[in-house]
Structure 1
Amino acid sequence: MSLLRVERARKRLYQVQEKYGFLTHPKVIEQSRKLDHLLNQYQTCKSKS
């Protein structure tokens, strides 16, 4: 798991939110969940080392 993947997902979330405008839009929620998943994976890997 790389921090770069997390940062890319975060940037994508900002782009999707800017495009659709609403935090409740399904595309924004979907990208937010992807970012959450990556953050959880990153945190798990970090805590194991």
Structure 2
Amino acid sequence: MERSDLIRQIELARQKLYQTKLKYVDLLHPDVIKQSMILDELINEYNQAKTEKPIK
């Protein structure tokens, strides 16, 4: 996946996390934790891609 696509997905996941947190208020709600984990995976994927291919 292209880094620009990952950046877009990260931003969408971040927005969804924010909305989910607003909906449930509790940071420990299962849906908030699930969305946080999705965001974490995308960030990890981005960081891995960044270290494999240096930015020009």
TM over 0.5: yes
Runs of at least 5 residues in structure 1 that lack an aligned partner in the other structure = none
Q: CA RMSD in A?
A: 0.7
- Flag the structure with larger Rg: 2
TM-score by length of 1: 0.95
The counterpart of 1:39, out of the listed 25, 37, 43, is 43
Deviation at 1:40, TM superposition (A): 0.2
- Larger deviation: 1-10 or 36-45? 1-10
What amino acid does structure 2 have at the position aligned with 1:47?
A: T
Identity of aligned residues (%): 45
Deviation at 1:21, TM superposition (A): 0.4
Cross-structure match for 2:16:
12
TM-score by length of 2: 0.84
Runs of at least 5 residues in structure 2 that lack an aligned partner in the other structure = none
Aligned residues: 49
